[in-house]
Homo-oligomer: A and B are copies of this chain.
């Protein structure tokens, strides 16, 4: 914990050069997909999907904005950078198959640090059966930036957009919410203590689950595969990156619908719940407004209810309504409140 990205066993990037750096990365990349015609090593990558649709998503992560290397190990950062992109492909009900990775980094980073980062990136590739097929590495004036593009495939009739929800559809979410946000709060708290007194070692026992939710999120490929097994095609879907409320708004706006969300149905893990209360935070607010859970939020026909009732991967948390009914949170005490979205704005400090 609380190390910098540096290392005593250090190879300067300026000595290594860009081509050698790319070579050292390329050597580690294994091609596993039969759809990869050409990966790293030419001007561009070639993939063939035999007539399926190609799904493409991209994300940029900036040091000091999206991550803090004082408590995020580079290996986890690499893993998470891939995970968040795969999550976007999965949210289309498509299977991610390829990524490109561009990295810019300052002289502060050594070759060994870059190796750590790519170890995490390639771990995620292996876990999710995705090929790294290209990218770019370059120097930066300050800090580390990662830009990833993920590409996936799906049959045309399987792709799920945000705009397909109907006014009687159920609203379903996978897993549990708010954990990644609570994990971040605890990391920030311990960082503050450490900065005041470096002798105090961080105490993060009993927080393993929420830390893992923050540092090493897992995109829900299992959910997509389970939906196929259950023979359910969602009518609309999105991944929960900015907080539940913000994502519900996206589905409602795209589908021109209102919503009723039941507070008592929102899935919150016990550790998230307990640590939120200990820190004088409302667990529901953490779930509604805390981001980075990377669960899947989707709508299904009301006739699918029996398939989801009691299913360990899913929770039915509400239902859509006509647009003029508005966005409503039904609180645990039965009172009705207007749902507030507090999506994350990286430009606001």
Residues of A within 8 A of B (CB): 13-14, 16-19, 21, 37-38, 41-51, 53-60, 62-66, 88-89, 91-92, 94, 98, 100, 102-104, 107, 133-136, 138-143, 145, 147, 149-152, 156, 159, 161-162, 237-239, 254, 343-349
B58 near A134: Cβ-Cβ < 8 Å: yes
Would A134 and B57 count as touching, CB distance under 8 A? yes
The interface residues of chain B lying within 8 Å CB-to-CB of A58 are 100, 102, 134-136, 147, 149
Q: Are B43 and A57 in contact (CB under 8 A)?
A: yes
Which 9 pairs between the two chains have the least Cβ-Cβ distance?
Answer: A44-B57, A147-B147, A60-B102, A43-B91, A64-B141, A43-B88, A149-B149, A13-B347, A58-B100
Docked complex Cα distance between A272 and B152 (Å):
45
A97 to chain B, nearest CB (A): 11
Which chain B residues lie closer than 8 Å to A41 at the CB level?
Answer: 162, 254
Determine the distance from Cα of A161 to Cα of B38 in the docked complex, in whole angstroms: 9
Known: A44-B88, A56-B151, A58-B134. 16 other contacts (CB 8 A): A18-B343, A42-B92, A43-B88, A44-B55, A44-B152, A54-B151, A57-B100, A58-B100, A60-B136, A62-B145, A107-B347, A139-B346, A142-B142, A145-B145, A145-B147, A147-B147
Known contacts A42-B161, A44-B89, A51-B51; A65/B18 CB under 8 A: no
Give the chain B neighbours of A104 by CB distance below 8 A. 60, 62, 65, 145
Residues of B within 8 A of A141 (CB): 62-65, 142-143
- Report Cα–Cα, A189/B309, bound state, in Å: 71
Say which residue of B14, B140, B150 sits within 8 Å of A65 (CB atoms): B140
Residue from the set A102, A149, A346 with the largest chain B CB neighbour count within 10 Å: A149
Q: Contact: B147 with A60, CB < 8 Å?
A: yes
Q: How far is the CB of A167 from chain B (nearest CB, A)?
A: 20
Complex Cα spacing A44 to B219, Å:
15
A238–B41 CA distance with the chains assembled, in angstroms: 11
Tell me the minimal C-beta distance from A251 to chain B in angstroms: 11
Q: Complex Cα distance A162/B42, Å?
A: 6
Q: How far is the CA of A149 from the CA of B348 in the complex (A)?
A: 27
**Distance of A142 Cα from B151 Cα, bound (Å):** 29
Residue of B nearest to A162 (CB): B42
Say which residue of B51, B56, B98 sits within 8 Å of A98 (CB atoms): B56
Minimum CB distance partner of A88 in chain B: B43
Enumerate 15 A-B pairs (CB-CB under 8 Å) in ascending A order. A42-B92, A43-B239, A46-B92, A47-B56, A48-B53, A48-B54, A49-B54, A56-B133, A56-B151, A57-B100, A60-B102, A62-B145, A64-B141, A136-B147, A138-B347
Separation of A180 and B50 alpha carbons in the complex (Å): 40
Complex: A58 Cα to B53 Cα, angstroms: 20
Chain B residues, CB < 8 A from A349: 14
Taken together as a complex, chains A and B put the C-alpha atoms of A271 and B41 apart, in Å, by 35
Instruction: Give, as a whole number of angstroms, the nearest-CB distance from A203 to chain B.
Output: 30
- Asked if A150 and B44 make an inter-chain contact with CB atoms under 8 angstroms apart, the answer reads yes
A65–B150 CA distance with the chains assembled, in angstroms: 26
Alpha-carbon separation in the docked complex, A46 to B346 (Å):
26
Nearest CB of B to A347, in Å: 4
B44 in contact with A92 (CB, 8 Å) = yes
Question: Does the CB pair A56–B21 fall under 8 Å?
Answer: no
B50 touches A51 (CB 8 A): yes
Q: Which residues of B contact A38 (CB under 8 A)?
A: 159, 161
